[in-house]
Amino acid sequence: MNDSFRFSVRVYWEDTDGGGVVYYANYLKYLERARTEFLRSCGFEQSALQREQNLVFAVVSAQIDYLQPARLDDALRISARLLYASRASLTFAQAICRADRDETKICRAEVKVACLDASTFRPRRIPVAILEELH
């Protein structure tokens, strides 16, 4: 899947610090939601993967560049694009932009997630069906 998946959110008071600016750690939540919805759009709900295939995905690394602040009431668009997949991990290019006319980019990230056995949290191969659907 070469096109970026897009997911929209609005900034609420609970997402911000006392000055109405999104708290830096909350960008990670937005990125996580977009990856989760990306997988769902491909037919893979994470709760079903855990229950039926005993697998979970966990972030093992994230490189984030904060370019501009998001603020209270901003409408945001979060993108997720699979950069590459190995036998046991997926690496995503992600961005957060304001959902306005010029789509101002406020954050960009590269996030690597590992496929883990849900019982032991040890790395395991990503099922072929998942890899095929994601490409």
Active-site hit among 3, 15, 17, 73: 17
What's the Cα-to-Cα distance from 23 to each of 33, 42, 43, rounded to whole Å?
Answer: 16, 30, 31
Instruction: Decide if 73 is catalytic.
Output: no
Catalytically active residues are 17
